[in-house]
C-alpha cells in the first residue's frame, strides 16, 4: 500500500504546476526533470511488480504452464507476447511489455492532446490505473484506441481503422470502438444525448426481447450476471461524473471545445446500462477513457480559477479509499511486491 501511495505522491509533487524560482528557464528545465522522474517511478512500479492486480496470477500461470489456455486462445498480440515470455523463460517480460506499452500510449496521448496534462495524468492514475494492472489485455486495446483518437480528430479514418484492428487483436471487445469515429465526427451533441436517453431507458427492454429469440438465449446469463455484479458501484461514479459534465456543458459558453468528448462518453453510459455492470462496464471503458481528456476542460469552466488546484482532491480521496478498502479485503493491489524479491511466493 505504501508503494502505491508513494506513486501518487510522486505524480502530484513532481508533475504539478509549481514554481521553484521566478526564472522561466529554470522552471521549464526543472519541470521536465521532475516529470521525467515521476514517469520513471510510474513505469518502474508498474512493470516490475509481482502479483499486483486481480488477474496477475492468472496471467502468470498462463506464462509458466507447459500448456495453457492463454497460449492457445489469447488474441494474436498478447499471445505472441506470452509465447515470447515463455521462450525466454521470463514471465516478467509479459507484464513489462504489455503494461509498458499501455503507459507509453496513454501518457503520449495525454501530453500531446490534453490541455492540462497534469490533471489528465492524475485522473488516469486515480480512476483507471488499477484496472490497467489487472485486465491487461483489454487495457492494451483501450490504450491503442485512446492513442488513435488523434486520427479521429484529424478525420483520418483509415489510420483510426488500423488502430481499431490492432486493438481488436489485443482484445476482441475493442471492435466496438469503431463507433467513436462516427459519433465524434457526425453526431451533434444534442443528437448523441437523445440517443443516449433512448438507449438508457429502452435498452434493457430491447435486450429482454432479443434474448427470447432462441439463437441469442445462450448469451443471456452474461447480461444477468452483469446487473448483479459488484462492479456496478464504479458505474455510479461514472454516472455522477457524466452528470457533472452535462451541467458544465449546458452552462458553458465554450461548449464546442469539449462537447463531442461528452458524446463519446455517452455511448459508454448506454453500454453499462444495456449490458450490465460486468460486460457492459468493460465495454464502456473504451468510451469512459476519454474522461482523461475531458476533465481539464471541465475544470477550466469552474470559477473561481484559483480554486482549480483543489478540484482533484475527490480523485485523490477515491484512490486512497480504494487502497484502504482493498487492504482490508482482497489485497489484490496493496500487498505490493517487487518481482525481484518475490522468492517462492
pLDDT of 227 strictly over 70? no
- Indicate if the pLDDT at residue 5 is higher than 60: yes
Strands 337-338, 49-50: pairing is antiparallel
Return the higher-pLDDT residue of 118 and 66. 118
Taking the C-alpha atoms of residue 69 and residue 27, their distance in angstroms, rounded to an integer, is 51
pLDDT at 232: 62
Residue 328 has phi, psi (to 5 degrees) of: -100, 5
For the chain, what percent of residues have pLDDT higher than 90?
Answer: 66
Q: Please give the pLDDT value at position 279.
A: 80
Do 121 and 12 touch, CB atoms closer than 8 A? no
Q: DSSP code of 174?
A: G
DSSP assigned state of 50: E
Q: Which pLDDT score is estimated for 225?
A: 43
Find the angle CA(236)-CA(240)-CA(243) to the nearest 5 degrees.
Answer: 135
- What pLDDT sits at residue 290? 97
Q: Mean of the pLDDT values across residues 188-210?
A: 81
Cross-strand bridge partners of residue 338: 49
Is residue 128 very low, low, confident or very high in pLDDT (cuts 50, 70, 90)? very high
Q: What is the pLDDT of residue 55?
A: 92
pLDDT attached to residue 216 = 47
Query: What pLDDT was estimated at residue 22?
Result: 60
User: Average pLDDT in the 99-115 region?
Assistant: 97
b/e for 46-71, b at 16 or more Cβ within 10 A? bbbbbbbbeebeebbebbeeeebebe
- pLDDT value, residue 24: 62
Rounded mean pLDDT of 59-65? 93
Spatial separation of the C-alpha atoms in residues 190 and 195, rounded to whole Å: 9
The grid coordinates listed for 160 are 483510426
Average pLDDT of the chain?
A: 88
pLDDT at 18: 63
pLDDT of residue 223: 54
Can you say whether the dihedral through the CA atoms of 45, 47, 49, 54 is positive or negative? positive
Distance in angstroms (rounded) separating the CA atoms of residues 280 and 278 = 6
CB 177 within 8 A of CB 286: yes
> Residue 274's pLDDT is what?
81
Which residues are within 8 A (CB) of 310 and not within 5 positions of it... i.e. 6 or more apart? none
Predicted confidence at residue 254, as pLDDT, reads 86
Whether pLDDT at 48 is above 90: yes
Task: Supply the angle between the helices 2-15 and 24-47 in degrees, to the nearest 10.
Answer: 160
| pLDDT confidence of residue 79 | 96
Return the percentage of the chain with pLDDT > 70, whole number.
Answer: 88
Amino acid at each position: 500500500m505504501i508503494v502505491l501511495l508513494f506513486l501518487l505522491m510522486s505524480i502530484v509533487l513532481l508533475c504539478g504546476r509549481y514554481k521553484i524560482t521566478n526564472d522561466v528557464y529554470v522552471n521549464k528545465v526543472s519541470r521536465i526533470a521532475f516529470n521525467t522522474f515521476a514517469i520513471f517511478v510510474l513505469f518502474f512500479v508498474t512493470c516490475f511488480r509481482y502479483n499486483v492486480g486481480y488477474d496477475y496470477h492468472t496471467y502468470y500461470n498462463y506464462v509458466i504452464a507447459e500448456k495453457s489456455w492463454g497460449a492457445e486462445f489469447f488474441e494474436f498480440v498478447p499471445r505472441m507476447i506470452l509465447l515470447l515470455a515463455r521462450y525466454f523463460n521470463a514471465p516478467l517480460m509479459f507484464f513489462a511489455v504489455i503494461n509498458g506499452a499501455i503507459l507509453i500510449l496513454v501518457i503520449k496521448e495525454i501530453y500531446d492532446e490534453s490541455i492540462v496534462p497534469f490533471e489528465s495524468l492524475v485522473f488516469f492514475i486515480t480512476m483507471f490505473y488499477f484496472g490497467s494492472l489487472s485486465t491487461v489485455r483489454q487495457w492494451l486495446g483501450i490504450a491503442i484506441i485512446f492513442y488513435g483518437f488523434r486520427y479521429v480528430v484529424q478525420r483520418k479514418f483509415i489510420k483510426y481503422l488500423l488502430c481499431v484492428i490492432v486493438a481488436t487483436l489485443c482484445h476482441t471487445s475493442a471492435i466496438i470502438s469503431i463507433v467513436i469515429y462516427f459519433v465524434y465526427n457526425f453526431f451533434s451533441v444534442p443528437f448523441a444525448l437523445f440517443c443516449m436517453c433512448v438507449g438508457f431507458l429502452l435498452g434493457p427492454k430491447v435486450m429482454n426481447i432479443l434474448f427470447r429469440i432462441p439463437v441469442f438465449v445462450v448469451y443471456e446469463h452474461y447480461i444477468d450476471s452483469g446487473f448483479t455484479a459488484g462492479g456496478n458501484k464504479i458505474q455510479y461514479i461514472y454516472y455522477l461524473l457524466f452528470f457533472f459534465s452535462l451541467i458544465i456543458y449546458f452552462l458553458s459558453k465554450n461548449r464546442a471545445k469539449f462537447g463531442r468528448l461528452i458524446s463519446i462518453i455517452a455511448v459508454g453510459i448506454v453500454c453499462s446500462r444495456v449490458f450490465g455492470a460486468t460486460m457492459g462496464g468493460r465495454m464502456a471503458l473504451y468510451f469512459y477513457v476519454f474522461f482523461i481528456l475531458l476533465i481539464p476542460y471541465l475544470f477550466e469552466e469552474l470559477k473561481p480559477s484559483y480554486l482549480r488546484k483543489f478540484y482533484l482532491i475527490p480523485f485523490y480521496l477515491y484512490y486512497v479509499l480504494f487502497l484502504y478498502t482493498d487492504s482490508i479485503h482482497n489485497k489484490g493491489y496493496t500487498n505490493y511486491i517487487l518481482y525481484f524479491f518475490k522468492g517462492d511466493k
